[in-house]
Amino acid sequence: MTVQEIISALGLEQATGDADRLVRVITGGYASDLLSCVMAGAADGNVWVTLQAHPNVIAVADLLNLACVIITEGTRLDEETLGRAREKGIPVLLTEETTFTVVSKLAELGIRGEH
Amino acid sequence: MERVSGLSGVKELTRVQELVYELRIGQVMTKDVITVSPDQTIAELKEVLRVNRISGCPVMEGEQLVGMISLENLIRALENGELDTTIREKMTSSVQSVRADESVVSVVTLFGRLGFGRFPVMDHDGNLVGIITQGDVVRGLLKQMEVQWHTEEIRRYRASHIFEDIESDQTALILRYAVKAQDFIHGGEASSKIKRALERLGAHPRIIRRIAVATYEAETNVMIHSHGGEIIAEVRPERMRVTAIDTGPGIEDIEQALKPGFSTAPDWIRELGFGAGMGLSNIKSCADDMNLESSLGTGTRLEMIFQLKA
């Protein structure tokens, strides 16, 4: 399952992400709003689901080489975060739905927590 | 240092997929287009195709693209003994063209959907600027993969040989990064740069990951809790030391600070997802060795050691 396929399947709004990053295959998923937990628990190529939306989210995604970040509950990105996501090439996807709903949909698509 | 080798099948497939999106049709098309006129005969077409070793070409009336003609049209005309009819009568006149600035993926889709062997390539003003076949796409992809591989290889090679090219009894590469207090906008920049440097130096991805996680935690600690400080990475061929130094206020009780879940971060910082009290324990599990010293009023010094040999 690629980033693009997740965007289509969940009807996500794509805030950032170049075409070449959207074809990346997702290795698994992780959900948390605590950055240190993400640092300890998310793996290379994972999709990360969170309602945090600030520049450090992008830093974490970049350092862990995550496939994409899904920001839930209608949180919008500020200019700083958008700019940083573009610079690092991280696909950031937005949804009105809750983290729980997004994660359960991802699970239905076969995305697992273990990696 | 250990070299990164052996791409998995999945990753290589993705690389090709990425390139298909990245490359523009104009970069892979054949620019010198052989064309015929609609008033030429099928017999003349046969000679054009034979001499140029091509299997089809655009039909041009002056500057205007009016059709495409292929080996398939030629064979059908030969079967009917129509060598003297004009190309105009045998060509495909409803022409599907592509634009030079479109991504290669769009023409790959067209090959699959329409079953044509070639498409004329036009510029913005509708002028014919090239022709593209499936062979052009494959050649373009292979060339681009080679170019990118070479560029990254050279960069890696240069970086990974620093320690061999420069002679001394002990060589170390020192990278220093200033970390400002409460500068959330640039949080993680130092870690990100250290990670890139290690990639270039050819360190093992698993080790890079541990260093990136630990350095990020140390960097955010300086950013959140101190008056400002510095991250210093000292890279040697066999091991690396990352030191986070700040100018205060210092940690009151180090033992307590090391306990998982303990945090002194204020609520507004916790709301940003920091201050989970997991930073130091993350560092502990990522670093091969760590040392934390602090004195109230003077500042804190956190030293982390990583072995670079896997």
* B298 and B176 co-located in one domain: yes
Distance of alpha carbon A4 from alpha carbon B203, whole angstroms: 31
Mean pLDDT of the B206-221 span: 94
Range of the domain at B102: 9-138
Residues of chain B with pLDDT > 90: what percent?
55
Q: What is the pLDDT of residue B153?
A: 76
Nearest to B21 among A19, A34, A39 (CB): A19
The C-alpha of B198 sits at a distance from chain A's nearest C-alpha, in angstroms, of: 12
Is a pLDDT exceeding 60 seen at residue B9?
no
Q: What is the pLDDT of residue B230?
A: 96
Is a pLDDT exceeding 90 seen at residue B85?
yes
In a domain, B105, yes or no: yes
Interchain CB contact of A85 with B (< 8 Å): no
Mean pLDDT of the B234-257 span: 92
Taking only the tens place, the pLDDT of each residue in A7-27 is: 999 999 999 998 889 989 999
How many distinct structural domains can be found in chain B? 2
Mean pLDDT of the A44-59 span: 94
- Using pLDDT thresholds of 50, 70 and 90, give the confidence band for residue B10: very low
Domain A3-108 indexed as CATH 3.40.1390.20: yes
Of A11 and B152, the one with more pLDDT: A11
* B100 and B180 co-located in one domain: no
In a domain, B180, yes or no: yes
List the CATH number of the domain containing B58: 3.10.580.10
The C-alpha of A103 sits at a distance from chain B's nearest C-alpha, in angstroms, of: 19
Q: Which of residues 12-41 of A touch B (CB under 8 A)?
A: 19-20, 22-25, 33-37, 39-40
Q: What is the pLDDT of residue B12?
A: 44
Interchain CB contact of A1 with B (< 8 Å): no
* B207 and B277 co-located in one domain: yes
In a domain, B106, yes or no: yes
Q: What is the pLDDT of residue B269?
A: 86
Q: What is the pLDDT of residue A115?
A: 59
Nearest to B14 among A25, A55, A60 (CB): A25
Domain boundary among the residues B115, B138, B161 is at B138
Is a pLDDT exceeding 80 seen at residue B154?
no
Q: What is the pLDDT of residue B2?
A: 35
Find the helix or strand (DSSP H, E) in which A93 lies. Answer: strand A92-94
- Using pLDDT thresholds of 50, 70 and 90, give the confidence band for residue B167: confident
In a domain, B203, yes or no: yes
List the CATH number of the domain containing B247: 3.30.565.10
CA nearest to B279, candidates A56, A54, A40? A40
In a domain, B17, yes or no: yes
Is a pLDDT exceeding 70 seen at residue B156?
yes
In a domain, B155, yes or no: no
The answer to whether B22 contacts A63, with C-beta atoms less than 8 Å apart, is no
Question: In Å, how far are A3, A91, B235, B273 from A17, measured between CA atoms?
Answer: 10, 4, 33, 23
A to B CB pairs, distance under 8 Å:
86
Q: What is the pLDDT of residue A20?
A: 83
- Using pLDDT thresholds of 50, 70 and 90, give the confidence band for residue B19: confident
Is a pLDDT exceeding 90 seen at residue B293?
yes
Determine whether A95 is exposed, middle or buried from the number of CB atoms within 10 Å of its CB (0-12, 13-18, 19+).
buried
In a domain, B243, yes or no: yes
In a domain, B148, yes or no: no
Is a pLDDT exceeding 50 seen at residue B184?
yes
Among the listed ranges B16-25, B108-117, B203-212, B221-230, which one has the minimum average pLDDT value? B16-25
The ipTM value here is 0.78
Nearest to A20 among B22, B185, B187 (CB): B22
Contact by Cβ (8 Å): B213, B278: no
> For all residues of chain B together, what is the average pLDDT?
88
The answer to whether B276 contacts A35, with C-beta atoms less than 8 Å apart, is yes
Task: Locate the domains of chain A by residue range.
Answer: 3-108
Is a pLDDT exceeding 70 seen at residue B13?
no
The answer to whether A36 contacts B217, with C-beta atoms less than 8 Å apart, is yes
Mean pLDDT of the B110-129 span: 90
Taking only the tens place, the pLDDT of each residue in B66-80 is: 999 999 999 999 999
Residues of chain B with pLDDT > 70: what percent?
95
The region that residue B222 occupies, defined by phi over 0 for left and psi between -120 and 50 for alpha, beta otherwise, is alpha
Q: What is the pLDDT of residue A75?
A: 92
Question: In Å, how far are A41, B285, B305 from B282, measured between CA atoms?
Answer: 10, 5, 14
Mean pLDDT of the B145-170 span: 78
Determine whether B149 is exposed, middle or buried from the number of CB atoms within 10 Å of its CB (0-12, 13-18, 19+).
exposed
CA dihedral A108, A76, B224, B219 (to 10 degrees): 60
Interchain CB contact of B148 with A (< 8 Å): no
Find the helix or strand (DSSP H, E) in which A27 lies. Answer: none
Nearest to A23 among B17, B272, B277 (CB): B17
Instruction: Classify A28 as helix, strand or coil.
Output: strand
